Chains A and B, each alone.
Chain A
Amino acid sequence: MKDHNQSGPPRWADKLFKLLCPPELFEELKGDLQEQFESDISRMGETAARRRYFAEVLKFSRPYFLKKRILSKRTDRPRTSIATTAMLQNYLTTARRTLVRHKSYALINVLGLTLGITCGILIFALVNYHLSFDRFHAKADRIYRVTTELHNENVSKYGTVPQPIAAAMRQDFAFVEKAAMLINFGATISITTTGNKEKYGDGIAYTEPQFFDIMDFSVISGNRKTMLSQPNTAVITEQLANKYFHGEDAIGKVFRVDNKTDFTVTGIIKDLPENTDIRQEIFVSYTTISQTQPWLNSWGGIYSGTQAFVMLKAGTDVKKAQKAMAGISTKYYNAKDAKAFRYQLQPLSDIHMNQEFGGAIAKSQLIALSMIAIFLIITACVNFINLATAQALGRSREIGVRKVMGGMKSQLFWQFIIETALITSIAFIFAVTLAYLCMPYMNEMLSTRVSIDLFSGLTQPIFLVCLLVVVTFISGSYPGLVLAGFQPITALKGKLTQRQAGGISIRKGLVVTQFAISQTLLIGTIVVASQMRFNTETDMGFKKDAIVMLPVPETSPAKTSAIRARLSQLPEVEKIAFFEAPPASPDGNFDTGIRYDSRSEPEKFTIFLKSGDPEYVSMFGLQLVAGRNLSPSDTVREYLLNETAVKKLGVKPEEAIGKNVTINSTNGIIVGVMKDFHNFSFRSKIEPVCLTTRSDHYARVALKISGQNMPATLTALEKAWNESNAEYIYSYQFLDDHLTYFYGTDELMLKLMWVFAAVAIFIGCLGLYGLISFMAAQKTKEIGVRKTLGAGVGSIVWLFGRQFAQLLVVAFIIAAPIGWWLMEKYLADFRYHIDLSASIFAASIGITFFIAIMTVGYRSVKAALMNPVKALRSE
């Protein structure tokens, strides 16, 4: 028998057939199918027979049968469908009445769901936005960015490359269809029109012509193929064309970069789409770079604005291509460097999310966000379940009557689902509106350009409908089952108790889940906040207060000393230092090789080269552990090394003094050793650093400001600066603001977590409030009896409080280890971080308790203060 069963026709094919076949023909057709199947088995074996059976079934989807099928359904059951509509109306009426009668219940539910769903919608839109980055290019799957791996003592990865690499790729590899460099520089654009001169601070990108063959940016005017082929030509976006040339035809117009080089506009492209990481708006011809930035042309150094994009030929095996690219290292480097410099390909779609190469957001962060969204929605659903189940007791009579009148379990269940759908739909309408309203704030906070648009794409409406269905079922099915499961007799007698209404333990479990979620979020928020405080307050090994940094657009010694003279006239300026980048800086870091003394080989590690004049040390309060400060010079003559560098060289600080050292291929003498300071954020360890004089690199000037009137000083600074740099745009930055760039994402995360934790706690409290109101109503009599027997207010409040306190503690016991584990992972990212102390956890449970007491307290005190006579008289 078992055999027979196994060799039967495929079950799901049968199901499909039942769906397709007109019911009145089912008997004969199914019989025929079965008969043919069995004869097929003996004729051509089971597999073939099954396949044939399935094909036969599929063929029953012909219009002839479908028409019959549909018609038969309509003529078959007219009565049930009338009944269904009638019942549906009844359900909706009942639902409406229930909602109107229990206004606070409806309000709490709608509010909770609205908040949860709003967060869900916002996060979905955000995640979707991040996932869509640079996917719109037609050949996106064949576009890659070339990345660098530097294998020294340890491996470091960069999304930037040496400048000649695109040309090499085009020349050496058959699998490369197109390759283009894109090199960014900050720039001052000036436009001279009749009479006046306008200045703008926009970045430029030196771009090879093939770039526009690789990426799909639509060209409005100009020839895509030739527009960047000539020197001193430029392509700009529509928006910039309007900004610069005020609506006139920009083609053929000229603008000047950094007061030096003129560019003629030869092409205009459409404004960049919101979801691309290529944010340059001025593309200038690549052939110009040899005159403006001649120093760039080398295989040995990597400038941080240099990117190379390649498009591989269709059907190229990327793994093989990557292997072949090892040829670059061997061809263009000497044997030793070939080991250090290695090149890889990074898919275009990976750029936005790969943190190793400075992607905007990590996949893990997106996953974390999605998890939070799911948690918030779950909390909202849990709330609903809790309240609805509690409230179900009050409806026992209705259910009883329905059951007695012949209502089936499934009908009651669906009735409740429809009621839930009504509430969730209302919540959805509010949530979508709220999300619309919140979107601009979110975009501002996260500096994103997300939009909610229900009418242009399909993803958002589909997502909303799915979410609506899911939320309805999650929140509606459990209370629905409980309702449907009532015993009619007990229900009619009104003798149902808490216990029968779906078990208090399940509801307790749900409250615990809710509070575990919100406490985990709370712990996270507190930890991130403390770490952020640690980041800004901990001594980084240098001074950062009251230091203003201004740009130095032209670095010639004459210009520099002119600025120095002008600025030192200001009485508030205590000290002036010219330099490239402050001790710790997210930008302007240059990593290079070092060879010590008479050692024949360069060291295995690389060193960060900082340039600054002798004032640098005192400006930032750096301390010397040995030797002396640099002596004034415009070129490299002396070096200061930090302790880490000296340690890595394997010598004592005192021994290093006076030794020769070659850094970045330039020889000099070590004259001093600096005490270690943090040269990056607290995420990274302290690296070897050296400081030397190189006046042509002094792109910044730092000013130590004294005195109280900061605004006046800043105005004076601006005036002085503008006098000496009329061609350029003034900007200033405080050093401590500059340093916060290190923690941009953390700052965002913190803000988001605050919001989410607040929402989660709020939803949780709504649930708590609903539950306590319900309990108070249930226990009216009990309280009355207790009070007449002499119970005080305190003991009655404790009656309520005890239960909730237990739940909160259990939730904390669950949340604490989860929060601890997650936050350990977060902090592991920081090399210097706070310790997870008990006080953080204590604070979290303290806050939760406080908020819970605020919520529960009022209700329970009110219940406890009630006149016992009234309570006893009720019913």
Chain B
Amino acid sequence: MGRSYLGEFEELVLLAVTVLNGGAYGVSIAEELRQRANRTISLSAVHIALYRLEEKGYLTSEMGGATLSRGGRKKRLFSVTASGREMLAEIQQVRNQFWNVIVNPAQS
């Protein structure tokens, strides 16, 4: 099975979904990214990343409950799949390997 690689932004979105743990949908993910990564991201960008991740099989989604603040509309809630977690762990591992080789991170 061919493997799909993740872009930097997709990785961040995937991480945010993991962190939000069940409460992940467009606005909350954008908000999470704004707070943690300190960048403002448009909803459309977030959604494209979400749909792509879902197509790649790292995310699943279901329609969730409606709230009044959304004008009574339902939200699509995303959660990470097993392969998504695997992917994240793998990325982390690759990074760690590199960092271990770098002797003094502060000087490089």
Q: CB < 8 Å: which of A30, A36, A64 contacts B30?
A: A36
The segment from A53-61, A279-287, A448-456 found at the interface with B is A53-61
Q: CB < 8 Å: which of A30, A55, A62 contacts B71?
A: A30
B85 within 8 A of partner (CB): no
Known: A36-B27, A36-B30, A38-B69. A31 touches B45 (CB 8 A): no
Q: CB < 8 Å: which of B44, B51, B69, B74 contacts A27?
A: B74
Give chain A's interface secondary structure class. helix
B76 within 8 A of partner (CB): yes
Known: A28-B26, A29-B47. A34 touches B42 (CB 8 A): no
Pick from A27, A35, A38, A55 the residue with the most CB of B within 10 Å.
Answer: A35
- Proximity string of chain A (14-31) to chain B, C-beta cutoff 8 Å, 1 when within and 0 when not: 000000000001011111
A743 within 8 A of partner (CB): no
Q: Once bound together, how far apart are the Cα atoms of A685 and B44, in whole Å?
A: 75
Q: Once bound together, how far apart are the Cα atoms of A59 and B43, in whole Å?
A: 8
A217 within 8 A of partner (CB): no
CB contacts (< 8 Å) of A38 on chain B: these are: 69
A474 within 8 A of partner (CB): no
Q: Are A31 and B73 in contact (CB under 8 A)?
A: yes
A473 within 8 A of partner (CB): no
Q: Taking the nearest CB of chain A, how far is it from the CB of B108, in angstroms?
A: 37
B58 within 8 A of partner (CB): no
Q: Taking the nearest CB of chain A, how far is it from the CB of B96, in angstroms?
A: 33
Interface residues in B35-66 by Cβ distance below 8 A to A read: 42-45, 47-48, 51, 63, 66
Q: Are A35 and B44 in contact (CB under 8 A)?
A: no
Interface residues in A579-628 by Cβ distance below 8 A to B read: none
Q: Once bound together, how far apart are the Cα atoms of A586 and B48, in whole Å?
A: 76
Q: Taking the nearest CB of chain B, how far is it from the CB of A8, in angstroms?
A: 9
Q: Once bound together, how far apart are the Cα atoms of A142 and B45, in whole Å?
A: 47
Known: A32-B27, A35-B27, A36-B30. A60 touches B44 (CB 8 A): yes
Q: CB < 8 Å: which of A30, A39, A65 contacts B44?
A: A65
A810 within 8 A of partner (CB): no
Q: Taking the nearest CB of chain B, how far is it from the CB of A320, in angstroms?
A: 47
Count contacts on B: residues with CB < 8 A to the other chain.
Answer: 21
Q: Are A56 and B43 in contact (CB under 8 A)?
A: yes
CB contacts (< 8 Å) of A28 on chain B: these are: 25-26, 63, 73-76
CB contacts (< 8 Å) of A56 on chain B: these are: 42-44
Q: Are A34 and B44 in contact (CB under 8 A)?
A: no
Q: Taking the nearest CB of chain A, how far is it from the CB of B7, in angstroms?
A: 14
Known: A27-B73, A62-B48, A64-B48. A32 touches B42 (CB 8 A): no
How many inter-chain residue pairs (CB < 8 Å) link A and B?
Answer: 61
Q: Are B75 and A32 in contact (CB under 8 A)?
A: yes
Q: Are A34 and B43 in contact (CB under 8 A)?
A: no
A33 within 8 A of partner (CB): yes
Q: Once bound together, how far apart are the Cα atoms of A33 and B43, in whole Å?
A: 7
Q: CB < 8 Å: which of B25, B45, B51 contacts A32?
A: B25
B95 within 8 A of partner (CB): no
Q: Are A55 and B73 in contact (CB under 8 A)?
A: no
CB contacts (< 8 Å) of B75 on chain A: these are: 28, 31-32, 35
Name the residue of chain B whose CB is nearest to the CB of A8. Answer: B71
Known: A36-B30, A62-B48. A31 touches B43 (CB 8 A): no
CB contacts (< 8 Å) of B43 on chain A: these are: 29, 32-33, 36, 56, 59
Known: A28-B63, A29-B43. A34 touches B73 (CB 8 A): yes
Q: Taking the nearest CB of chain A, how far is it from the CB of B50, in angstroms?
A: 10
Q: Once bound together, how far apart are the Cα atoms of A55 and B44, in whole Å?
A: 10
CB contacts (< 8 Å) of B70 on chain A: these are: 31-32, 34-35
Q: Once bound together, how far apart are the Cα atoms of A32 and B66, in whole Å?
A: 11
Q: Once bound together, how far apart are the Cα atoms of A25 and B27, in whole Å?
A: 15
Q: Taking the nearest CB of chain A, how far is it from the CB of B54, in angstroms?
A: 12
Interface residues in B1-57 by Cβ distance below 8 A to A read: 25-27, 30, 42-45, 47-48, 51
Q: Are A32 and B48 in contact (CB under 8 A)?
A: no
Q: CB < 8 Å: which of A32, A59, A65 contacts B26?
A: A32
- Proximity string of chain A (39-67) to chain B, C-beta cutoff 8 Å, 1 when within and 0 when not: 10000000000000001100110101100
Q: Taking the nearest CB of chain B, how far is it from the CB of A63, in angstroms?
A: 10
CB contacts (< 8 Å) of A27 on chain B: these are: 63, 73-74
CB contacts (< 8 Å) of A60 on chain B: these are: 44
Pick from B30, B66, B71, B74 the residue with the most CB of A within 10 Å.
Answer: B71
CB contacts (< 8 Å) of B45 on chain A: these are: 59
Q: Taking the nearest CB of chain B, how far is it from the CB of A433, in angstroms?
A: 51
Name the residue of chain A whose CB is nearest to the CB of B29. Answer: A32
Q: Once bound together, how far apart are the Cα atoms of A412 and B53, in whole Å?
A: 48
Q: Once bound together, how far apart are the Cα atoms of A25 and B30, in whole Å?
A: 18
Q: Once bound together, how far apart are the Cα atoms of A35 and B63, in whole Å?
A: 16
CB contacts (< 8 Å) of B44 on chain A: these are: 56, 59-60, 62, 65
A interface, CB within 8 angstroms of B: 25, 27-36, 38-39, 55-56, 59-60, 62, 64-65
B interface, CB within 8 angstroms of A: 25-27, 30, 42-45, 47-48, 51, 63, 66-67, 69-71, 73-76
Q: Could you name 13 residue pairs across A and B whose Cβ atoms are closer than 8 Å?
A: A28-B73, A28-B76, A29-B43, A29-B47, A32-B25, A32-B43, A34-B69, A34-B70, A35-B75, A38-B69, A55-B42, A60-B44, A65-B48
Given A31-B71, A36-B30, 11 other A-B residues pairs in contact with their CB atoms under 8 A: A27-B74, A29-B47, A31-B66, A32-B25, A32-B75, A35-B75, A36-B43, A59-B45, A60-B44, A62-B48, A65-B44
